[in-house]
Amino acid sequence: MTPFRFRLERVLVWRRRELDLEQHKARQLAAALEDTARAIALNAVERTAAETAVAGAHHHDGAELEAHAAYLDCLVRRERKLEKRRLEQERNLAEQRVRLMEARRRAQLLEKLRSRRLEEWEAAANRELESFAAESHLNRWRPGPR
């Protein structure tokens, strides 16, 4: 019996690589989103600290108030920018998850096909082996040349 050979093995290998690549991209996007979330949290802490510093000061100098106001404006702009980035990253991650599910589906389809073909090949190999065993058994009991 010939050894098992899946004709679409190269395609299956390619689909597995494609799936790995899509998983890697999804992990990268998720990590970037986490980094942005940390930056947003850090910005919020800085903003709270700046607001507390202004509120807790006993005497206010006009230049200090102006500097604090400019700093708070900068933090607000950074917060908006980070929120915009977070929304974009969430959208990109959602799109990547769709691509990942598609790649997984395509790879699983070929895996199932390979599995089915392997089962068919094993069944055929078992039938061939049984046939050979039956012939061997019958040949053993046949009378030989006299």
Domains of the chain, by residue range, sit at: 10-114
| CB neighbour list of residue 29: distance below 8 Å, 6 or more residues apart | 89, 92, 93, 96
| Token pair 């969430």 in the structure block, residue | 90
Taking the C-alpha atoms of residue 1 and residue 129, their distance in angstroms, rounded to an integer, is 9
Q: Is the pTM of this model over 0.85?
A: no
What are the pLDDT tens digits along the chain (146 aa)?
Answer: 789 999 999 999 999 999 999 999 999 999 999 999 999 999 999 999 988 887 777 777 888 888 888 999 999 999 999 999 999 999 999 999 999 999 999 999 999 999 999 999 999 999 999 988 888 877 777 666 65
Residue 30 near residue 95 (C-beta atoms within 8 A): no
Taking the C-alpha atoms of residue 24 and residue 103, their distance in angstroms, rounded to an integer, is 12
Taking the C-alpha atoms of residue 61 and residue 84, their distance in angstroms, rounded to an integer, is 34
